[in-house]
Structure 1
């Protein structure tokens, strides 16, 4: 037996307790060349971010970049960073699952899909989470690794495929990212502004055939031509170095200016008639999407709120946006989930509220 429908029933979210955004700005401002400080300050103020959270504590209430903190003396090696990931990523993921359990029962989980791109550990996060939750040994697991900001779409799409092929399936989807483990020893404005975007967070969701929440509709995927080098990660001896090119928003805007591409992601519906769950990759990216699609002023309010409160949490970010939309449904009943990431690739899903 199969079904045509899979539903995102509920989402729980979690962030760690340490707000590092202001401390990072102070740290970065000391490092950037003096003549570039006005530019950095201006761009930081325009970022649309008020808070970013980290699993890394400081000493006596200070941050990880202050004396005694993780980054105080020198940039730690990748092994030290991965040791923190192995310890802290499962804890944050389980906090998100606990938040989900406040909204929906998690009995009878048959599948576990986990997305993460900010660390590696084996046994994997999927196995650790499954064991800590006491899931049965025969639960089917899928780990979506190193796909970056659009990995939430890939995880939800996978859950959709599972439920549509087996209506009795109950799929737990988890996204967890510890981006703050990858601070780099840079002094140039562009990489510092890229690092200024990222924070830690986790989300957990239940996907089933029960008509509750949002129906997960037709997925879509596309690589934007001539853009492969615009977003990329490099694994270095001192963590994962993110490259986020300043040309990304313009390239996204160009793609969304192409009628055929817009028709692919909207199914031919006028964009302004849909609700939008857009990955909050940065203010300039949200501005590019809003401008290119001629969306109303408040169309991306949920994405901008997540950016302000949390920054870019890579794969977890879109889940936070969807959680806000579930909690405060927009007037439109049909919508689109859209995320951009390494490649430069776009991934998404059609959405529709169940009631």
Structure 2
């Protein structure tokens, strides 16, 4: 049995609102012939606020790939320790108890992975297994949970630390004027998240089955064009319609464990945009309010890539709406187009520490619970 404990989530201190984003797009791209379309698409994302690791004026500058990578490493090393510490506390384990670390990020590239730095600096043992995942984009949050589940299943009495570090603002391309890139400028935000999966626990989300699905011939629907200036996000207009193909995948994975994907108690789903959630509600015949925590993440943080599912799960767990025996699904979607899906049952809360989504210290912003987080119908 593998059990996923309450995640810890941190967002940076610099914020940008939807109104700021729209005014900025008008100022920077006032003569763009497709600006009205871009503004409409951004307005329809449902994003109210996003968080950035740097002030806006610095984010808008492109000092080059080398300098951006330095910023990524510096900010990651500054911010990861606190989010990991809270995740370990939530799980009731120490760094020395961790047997493997899964690190997911699609917004910069380093070698060695930051897993090596974490082992050296955060108290993990030197025999800790390193599992970095860099090319699954937003699906990597689900993949991290699934690979941690697999590790705990094959290694008795083990504990796996998951760390997601997504600084999407470092992929901003000021000279890329394609509509898909302009949309991404108003959709993605920065965040870090961490969680522990334990082989044995009396509380948390018991992981019971997982699966991966690829939608055939969609490799170029979500992608990076890698250029001299770094990663350029590419988003095909057909992406929002993929839920019609992915909903059956969720049904298949649920059915392998005797579940009806249309009759579950909770849905922790990657919020790439409101259309994704609307269509999934339709094709699974699930009430829209069961996706309220996904919508809350999208509204308050934007699309935070692989950290989304961990933030949605954190909101669900801390909402007080879960009951022992509730069964649900965790699903991340990303390039490929790929779905990473888990089925799990809530075992209950032992009353121990639970992360409230806030981040302490001078380098982080406190994020108090909102009405949308407390109410399952928000």
Normalization by structure 2: what TM-score? 0.83
Q: Do the aligned residues in 2 keep the contact of 1:85 with 1:120 (CA within 8 Å)? A: no
Partner of 2:25: 28
**Aligned counterparts, 1:194-205, within 5 A:** 194-205=184-195
Task: State the Cα distance separating 1:217 from its structure 2 match.
Answer: 1.8
Q: Do the aligned residues in 1 keep the contact of 2:59 with 2:172 (CA within 8 Å)? A: no
Partner of 2:279: 288
Residues 190 and 123 from structure 1, CA distance in 2 versus in 1: closer, same or farther, beyond 3 angstroms? Answer: closer
Match of 1:124 among 103, 107, 113: 113
> What residue ranges of structure 1 are gaps of 5+ in the alignment?
58-62
Task: State the Cα distance separating 1:32 from its structure 2 match.
Answer: 4.9
Q: Deviations over 1:78-118 (max 9, x none)?
A: 11111111111232322321332453333222221111111
Partner of 1:8: 4
Residues 134 and 302 from structure 1, CA distance in 2 versus in 1: closer, same or farther, beyond 3 angstroms? Answer: same
Residues 125 and 262 from structure 1, CA distance in 2 versus in 1: closer, same or farther, beyond 3 angstroms? Answer: closer
Q: Do the aligned residues in 2 keep the contact of 1:29 with 1:40 (CA within 8 Å)? A: no
Residues 337 and 32 from structure 1, CA distance in 2 versus in 1: closer, same or farther, beyond 3 angstroms? Answer: farther
Match of 1:187 among 173, 177, 180: 177
1:76 equivalenced with 2:74 (yes/no): no
Partner of 2:347: 354
> In 1, Cα distance between the equivalents of 2:155 and 2:179?
50
Residues 338 and 32 from structure 1, CA distance in 2 versus in 1: closer, same or farther, beyond 3 angstroms? Answer: farther
Residues 123 and 229 from structure 1, CA distance in 2 versus in 1: closer, same or farther, beyond 3 angstroms? Answer: closer
**Aligned counterparts, 1:148-227, within 5 A:** 148-184=137-173, 185-208=175-198, 209-227=200-218
Partner of 1:344: 337
Greater Cα offset, 22-31 or 275-284: 22-31
SS at match of 1:307: helix
Q: Deviations over 1:249-275 (max 9, x none)?
A: 11222442x5xx353132151514341
> In 1, Cα distance between the equivalents of 2:32 and 2:126?
57
Partner of 2:367: none
Q: Do the aligned residues in 1 keep the contact of 2:59 with 2:169 (CA within 8 Å)? A: no
> In 1, Cα distance between the equivalents of 2:223 and 2:108?
15
Residues 254 and 134 from structure 1, CA distance in 2 versus in 1: closer, same or farther, beyond 3 angstroms? Answer: closer
> In 2, Cα distance between the equivalents of 1:188 and 1:262?
32
| Corresponding pairs, count | 337
> In 2, Cα distance between the equivalents of 1:102 and 1:158?
22
Partner of 1:141: 130
Partner of 1:60: none
Residues 321 and 70 from structure 1, CA distance in 2 versus in 1: closer, same or farther, beyond 3 angstroms? Answer: closer
Give me the CA root mean square deviation. 2.0
> In 2, Cα distance between the equivalents of 1:42 and 1:272?
34
**Aligned counterparts, 1:96-135, within 5 A:** 96-107=83-94, 108-135=97-124
